[in-house]
A and B are shown apart, each in its own frame.
Chain A
Amino acid sequence: MATEAHGEETGGLEFHPLDQFIVKPLFGEAGDPVAWYTITNVTLWMALAVIAIVALFVFGSRGRALVPTRTQSIGEILYGFTYKMVEDVAGKDAVKFFPYIMTLFMFILFANYLGLLPMSFATTSHIAVTAVLALGVFLTVTIVGFVKNGAGFLGLFWVSSAPLALRPILAIIELISYFVRPVSHSIRLGGNIMAGHAVMKVFAGFAAVAAISPFAVLSITAIYGLEMLVAGVQAYVFAILTCVYLKDALHPSH
């Protein structure tokens, strides 16, 4: 649909920085409707992320070698890194959520890096995807908080160290910030990835002009390097914020 919308703009620079995010069916015509079961490019790149994760963690550690191979070593480093993060940030009793956080972290990490491949599709740049991830975290944290602490979980919003007169106001602010969490959590990830890819596309559009194309190519290279960093950091930030929220749920006292 979007390609049709851009169809009549002709001449001069053409910027379609958001065309890369279009969800389209892998098989069949470009304009076919996308039903919930349709196999689309989203399916393809998520499947590739799954395959990469399986290759790294299952086939990489197949040998169970005491002296690890290179692939197994990478898997062990990621495991140790995430485990230490969960233990340090969320506390020792949060270790049973470690597979959940590991799943989120690995999916986002691999989706981000696979999305950086040229001609690929960045699944984590879509609000729908990141919103589901963030809402999942939000619901998990809220349910865990109420199951673990009962009504005591509401103490999270009642800042007992503040003066009594201020507490209702602070409670409202805390409540708002609590419900803004999934919004910022999802838009931070999706927005970062989308912004990086869109900027690269904009510079790619500049590369069509011969006079500034060397500058544009150099810029794309630099931004690509930055995006490599951002892809890792955003996955890390998503995981560590999940840990922070989980710590709030397990130990709600301020």
Chain B
Amino acid sequence: MATETENAADAAHGAAEAGGAGMPQLDFSTFGNQIFWLVVTLVVIHFVLSKIALPRIAGVLSERQGTITSDLAAAEELKQKAVDAEEAYKKALADARAEAQKIVADAKADIQADLDAAQAKADAEIAAKTAESEKAIAEIRDGAIESTKEVAKDTAKEIVAAMGFSADARSVTSAVNARMKG
């Protein structure tokens, strides 16, 4: 160090001998100090990070991930519920429509049945009346035929008597009957 003051060249030379005073990076006398403090620093940082900070941040991140996932799941569930509700609504609507149709059909069937019954009753009445009328007509006709026979017999007897013959009642009757049958 004493040579430093003599001249520039000597100063540079002396500095180099003293361990690179020109370049502080090569001043080996400070290396021990730097390395010691660096190791202390690194150990402290590593301890703080690996024991406290990193697990905590990892926990926060995974917790957030879990929250987001469960929120998404809840949203999915709600969506499913909405879909279910819509389906239930649609089903209720369809049911109501089917019910209404059934009621309409029932009413129609009832009316039809009443109608049919009324028709059948009316038909039966008409048929009965027709039969009665036919019977009456047949009676009348029979009656008419008998009267016609009587008339024809009487007329035939009278005509035969008028022509001067005495008519045998039996033969007249059989003749008239034969005629009437034919």
User: B4 on the interface (CB 8 Å rule)?
Assistant: yes
Q: Give the chain A neighbours of B35 by CB distance below 8 A.
A: 36, 128-129, 132
User: A87 on the interface (CB 8 Å rule)?
Assistant: no
Judge whether B11 and A99 touch: CB under 8 Å: no
Stretch at the interface among A37-45, A161-169, A175-183, A223-231: A37-45
B33, B41, B56: the one contacting A34 at CB < 8 Å is: B33
B25, B53, B64: the one contacting A58 at CB < 8 Å is: B53
User: B143 on the interface (CB 8 Å rule)?
Assistant: no
Judge whether B46 and A47 touch: CB under 8 Å: no
A215 CB, min distance to chain B CBs, angstroms: 28
User: A15 on the interface (CB 8 Å rule)?
Assistant: no
Q: Give the chain A neighbours of B67 by CB distance below 8 A.
A: 66
B55 CB, min distance to chain A CBs, angstroms: 10
Q: Give the chain B neighbours of A76 by CB distance below 8 A.
A: 57, 60-61
A54 CB, min distance to chain B CBs, angstroms: 6
Given A68-B60, A76-B61, A99-B54, are A128 and B31 neighbors across the interface (CB < 8 Å)? Answer: yes
B5, B29, B50: the one contacting A8 at CB < 8 Å is: B5
Q: Give the chain A neighbours of B150 by CB distance below 8 A.
A: none
User: B32 on the interface (CB 8 Å rule)?
Assistant: yes
Stretch at the interface among A100-108, A139-147, A201-209, A235-243: A100-108
Q: Give the chain A neighbours of B158 by CB distance below 8 A.
A: none
Give complex CA distance A179, B109 in Å. 103
User: A57 on the interface (CB 8 Å rule)?
Assistant: yes
Closest partner residue, chain A, to B36 (CB atom) = A36
Give complex CA distance A22, B34 in Å. 12
User: B162 on the interface (CB 8 Å rule)?
Assistant: no
Closest partner residue, chain B, to A37 (CB atom) = B36
Pull 27 A–B residue pairs with CB atoms less than 8 Å apart, ordered by A: A1-B21, A1-B27, A2-B21, A2-B22, A8-B8, A18-B22, A23-B27, A36-B33, A37-B36, A38-B33, A42-B30, A46-B40, A46-B41, A53-B45, A53-B48, A57-B52, A58-B48, A61-B53, A76-B57, A76-B61, A80-B61, A99-B50, A127-B26, A128-B34, A128-B38, A132-B39, A194-B25
Binding site for B on A (CB under 8 A): 1-2, 4-5, 8-9, 18-19, 21-23, 33-38, 40, 42-43, 46-47, 49-50, 53-54, 57-58, 61, 64-66, 68, 72, 75-76, 79-80, 98-100, 102-104, 106-107, 123, 125-129, 132-133, 136, 190, 194
| Further 15 A-B residue pairs, CB within 8 A, beyond A50-B44, A57-B53, A79-B57 | A5-B15, A5-B21, A23-B24, A35-B33, A36-B32, A42-B34, A47-B41, A53-B49, A54-B48, A64-B56, A79-B54, A102-B49, A107-B45, A132-B39, A190-B25
Binding site for A on B (CB under 8 A): 1, 4-5, 8, 11-12, 15, 18, 21-27, 29-42, 44-46, 48-50, 52-54, 56-61, 63-64, 67
